[in-house]
Chain A
Amino acid sequence: MSTNRFNPSKSALGGATAKLPQRAGVGLKPQHFQDILDSWPDIGFFEIHAENYMVPGGPFHHYLTRIRERYPLSIHGVGMSIGADGPLNVQHLNALQALLLRYQPQSFSEHLAWSTHGGVFLNDLLPLPYNTTTLQRVCDHIDQVQSHLGRRMLLENPATYVEFVASTWDEGAFLTEVLRRTGCGLLLDVNNAHVSCINHSRDARATILSMPLAQVGEIHLAGFAEQLDGSGDLLLIDSHSTPVAQVVWDLYAFTMKLAGPQPTLLERDNDIPAWPVLLAEASVAECQLQVMREDALPHLTAVTVEAAT
C-alpha cells in the first residue's frame, strides 16, 4: 500500500530518492557511536538532528559517515524556524543543503514551530497561532525550503502547552492545508499528538483522524514528563526523557491501522539509556510494524505460507 501521495504539481522537486524503510529506527546519539560500530545492530534506520552535525569535522562526521554506509538515514532539523514571522536564515539553509548533499538521507523533516527570533536562537520549538496569516507564511517558508534543497520535506506536528486567541484553524486542518499547498509530507509525532491533546483537552484519536494521514512519511514516538497547570490539571511535557508510555503505544497502533506501517523513530534526547535499552524499546515498535507489514502483504503470501505447512 502506498501512502506517499506526492503532489504532482510539485513533482519537479524530485530529490526524494529512496524512502525510509517501514521499520523502527533510533535517534543517533554520540554515546552510542561505538556500540553501533561494534555490533552493527539490526535496525531500520537512524535519525540525526541536522544542527548537531553542522560542525566542520571531527568524530561526529567520522562516525556518521561509517553508520551511513550501512543504514538508511533521516535528517531532522530543529533550527529552521519554519513558523517564524521573519525570513528564513539562508546561511542555515545552505548549511543544511551541504549536510544533505554529504549524507544523502532518505528523509528530511522539520517542525511546525519557530525557534529563532530577532537573530536569537531560542533552542526550543515554539508554538504559533493557526490562521490564514500564519498559513501563508508557513507555506511560503516550506516552498522556499523545498525549492532551495530540491527535495520534498516532512513537517512534524508539535507538542504545545498553550493555545492562541488568534487561532482560527485546528491543527489537523491547518496541517492538511499546508501539505495540500506545498506538497510536503507529514512526520506524525504520536507522542506530540497525545501531549497536545491532554494539554488542550482534546480527543487524541479524533485528532489523529483529523491529520492528513495519507501523506505520513514517518512516525515519531517518545516519552513525556508530567506536571500540573495553574488549575491543577495534568500538563504533559514533551521531554524525550522517558520510555514511550503505554497510552502512546496504543495511539501508535491506532495510527498505524489508519496510515499503514510507517518508518517509526524512537526519540530519546535526555536521560539517554544504554544502547541495549534503547534497542529493546525500538524492537517493540519493530514487532508491531512486522505484524502490520505482514497484514499488508497480498494474499499470495498467505497461500505460500499454507503450502509450506
Chain B
Amino acid sequence: MNSQTAFATPLLAPELPCPSGLTTWNNSDPATRYAVYRNNVVVSLIDALADTYPVVQQLVGEEFFRAMAKVFALVNPPRSTVMACYGQDFADFVTSFPPAASVPYLADMARLEMARVLAYHAADVPHLPNEALRSALTDPDQLMHLQLALHPSVQVLASPFATVSLWAAHQGVACLSSVDPDVPQTALVFRHALEVNTLEVDSAVGKFICALQARQSLMVAARQANEQAAGFDLGAALALLLHWQLITTITTDKEDHEPAH
C-alpha cells in the first residue's frame, strides 16, 4: 500500500486506525489531528447532500438525515470534483435503507430534489422563437411528423406518491396536513429564465414529454400518451411547452429530417 492509499483509506473508514508515518511537534497522538481530515471529508460530503436534499432532510429531521447521509457518503464518495451534482444515486440508496422505510415517498422526494439541482445547472439552450413554432405547428401536413427537442433542464418524474404536493408543502405554499401522500403524481421539472419550476402534470403529459425526449415524432409521442391515459389533450400539452418556452428545435422525420420552416 502506498502512502496516499494509507492516508486516504481511513478517511472513509471510521473503523480503521489513523495511518502510520505521521508526526507531531509535541508527540501528541496524531490520531486526534488526523481526525480533522476525517471530519472535513465526511462533514463536507454530508453538507453537500444537505444542500441538495433540503426537503428530504425536513421530512426525516436533521439528525436522521445526517446519519443516513454519512452511511451513504462513506460507501458512495464523489467520483467527480463537481460537487453540485454529487449524490445522484442517493435516491436509490434511500430506497434500500431500512431505517427510512417508514417514509415510503422519501426516495422519490430525493429524485425530485436532484432533478431540480440538475435543472438549475443544465446547459443554456435558447428556445425557438414563437413565429417559427407557430408556422411549424399550424401546418397540418407536417405537424404529426415533427420532432421537438426540449430544453436540457426538462425532466419528468412519475411517482406513486404525491411528491409534488409534498415538495410544495415544504416551500410554504401549501399545508402539509392537507396532502394525501398516497395520490400518484407526475412532476415536470425545468428551468425557465433563471428559476427552476416544479409543476404537477397529468401522467399522459409526462409520458408525452418523455417520448419527445426519446426523439419520437409528435404523432408517436401523442399515441403513447393516449395509451397512458385516454383523452390525452395534445393541444394543451403543446400549449404547456410553448408557454414555458421549453422547445429548442423542431425537425421533421419526413424528408430526411430536414428542418421545418
Residue ranges of A at the interface with B (Cβ–Cβ < 8 Å)? 51-52, 54-62, 78-79, 84-86, 89, 92, 114-124, 126, 128-129, 161-166, 199-201, 227, 229-231, 233, 235, 237
Query: What residue of chain A has the Cβ atom nearest to residue B40's Cβ?
Result: A124
**What are 14 A-B residue pairs whose CB atoms fall within 8 Å in the complex?**
A56-B152, A58-B191, A61-B124, A117-B4, A118-B5, A120-B79, A121-B83, A124-B11, A161-B34, A161-B36, A164-B23, A200-B25, A229-B24, A237-B36
Can you add 11 more A-B contacts, CB < 8 Å, to A161-B37, A166-B3, A201-B26?
A54-B82, A55-B82, A56-B122, A57-B122, A59-B194, A85-B3, A115-B81, A161-B36, A199-B33, A230-B32, A237-B36
Residues of B9-27 at the interface with A, using a CB-CB cut-off of 8 Å, are 11-12, 21-27
Residues of B88-111 at the interface with A, using a CB-CB cut-off of 8 Å, are none
- B81 in contact with A116 (CB, 8 Å): yes
Query: What residue of chain A has the Cβ atom nearest to residue B36's Cβ?
Result: A161
Interchain CA distance A278-B123 in the complex, whole Å: 31
Query: What residue of chain A has the Cβ atom nearest to residue B47's Cβ?
Result: A270
- B80 in contact with A121 (CB, 8 Å): yes
Q: Of B12, B21, B121, which contacts A164 at CB under 8 A?
A: B21
Contacts of B168 in A (CB 8 A): none
Q: What mask results when residues 70 to 92 of chain B are scored 1 for a CB within 8 Å of chain A, else 0? A: 00000001111111110000000
Contacts of A62 in B (CB 8 A): 124, 194
Contacts of B194 in A (CB 8 A): 58-59, 62
Q: Would you give the shortest CB distance from B45 to chain A, in whole angstroms?
A: 6
B139 at the interface (CB under 8 A from A): no
Contacts of B80 in A (CB 8 A): 121
A233 with B82, Cβ < 8 A, contacts A85-B3, A122-B11 known:
no
By the criterion of a CB under 8 Å from any partner CB, how many residues of chain B are at the interface? 48
Q: Would you give the shortest CB distance from B243 to chain A, in whole angstroms?
A: 20
B8 at the interface (CB under 8 A from A): yes
Q: Of A54, A115, A122, A229, which contacts B33 at CB under 8 A?
A: A229
Interchain CA distance A199-B36 in the complex, whole Å: 12
A165 with B33, Cβ < 8 A, contacts A60-B121, A230-B28 known:
no
A59 with B120, Cβ < 8 A, contacts A52-B84, A230-B32 known:
yes
Name the 5 nearest CB pairs between A and B, nearest first: A79-B81, A57-B124, A231-B28, A230-B29, A55-B121
Contacts of B29 in A (CB 8 A): 229-231
Q: Would you give the shortest CB distance from A66 to chain B, in whole angstroms?
A: 12
- B85 in contact with A162 (CB, 8 Å): no
Interchain CA distance A38-B251 in the complex, whole Å: 41
Interchain CA distance A79-B86 in the complex, whole Å: 14
Q: Of A51, A119, A229, which contacts B28 at CB under 8 A?
A: A229
Contacts of B181 in A (CB 8 A): none
B2 at the interface (CB under 8 A from A): yes
- B4 in contact with A84 (CB, 8 Å): yes
Contacts of B36 in A (CB 8 A): 161, 227, 235, 237
Query: What residue of chain B has the Cβ atom nearest to residue A231's Cβ?
Result: B28
Contacts of B191 in A (CB 8 A): 58
Interchain CA distance A174-B34 in the complex, whole Å: 22
Interchain CA distance A56-B225 in the complex, whole Å: 30
Query: What residue of chain A has the Cβ atom nearest to residue B119's Cβ?
Result: A58
- B77 in contact with A231 (CB, 8 Å): no
Query: What residue of chain A has the Cβ atom nearest to residue B73's Cβ?
Result: A123
Contacts of B8 in A (CB 8 A): 117-118, 120, 122, 126
B30 at the interface (CB under 8 A from A): yes
- B84 in contact with A55 (CB, 8 Å): yes
Interchain CA distance A230-B84 in the complex, whole Å: 35
- B84 in contact with A123 (CB, 8 Å): no
Residues of B174-214 at the interface with A, using a CB-CB cut-off of 8 Å, are 191, 194
Query: What residue of chain A has the Cβ atom nearest to residue B4's Cβ?
Result: A85
Interchain CA distance A201-B152 in the complex, whole Å: 53
Q: Would you give the shortest CB distance from B32 to chain A, in whole angstroms?
A: 4
Contacts of B152 in A (CB 8 A): 56-57
A119 with B79, Cβ < 8 A, contacts A58-B191, A85-B3 known:
yes
- B21 in contact with A166 (CB, 8 Å): yes
Interchain CA distance A51-B82 in the complex, whole Å: 5
Q: Of B4, B34, B44, B77, which contacts A162 at CB under 8 A?
A: B34
Interchain CA distance A52-B152 in the complex, whole Å: 19
A124 with B34, Cβ < 8 A, contacts A58-B120, A92-B81 known:
no
A233 with B26, Cβ < 8 A, contacts A58-B120, A61-B124, A117-B4 known:
yes
Q: Would you give the shortest CB distance from A90 to chain B, in whole angstroms?
A: 13
Interchain CA distance A66-B30 in the complex, whole Å: 47
Q: Would you give the shortest CB distance from A124 to chain B, in whole angstroms?
A: 4
Contacts of A229 in B (CB 8 A): 24, 26, 28-29, 32-33
B234 at the interface (CB under 8 A from A): no
- A58 in contact with B121 (CB, 8 Å): yes
Q: Would you give the shortest CB distance from A113 to chain B, in whole angstroms?
A: 11
- B81 in contact with A165 (CB, 8 Å): no
B31 at the interface (CB under 8 A from A): yes
Interchain CA distance A115-B45 in the complex, whole Å: 13
- B23 in contact with A165 (CB, 8 Å): yes
- B124 in contact with A51 (CB, 8 Å): no
Contacts of B37 in A (CB 8 A): 124, 126, 161-162
Query: What residue of chain A has the Cβ atom nearest to residue B31's Cβ?
Result: A230
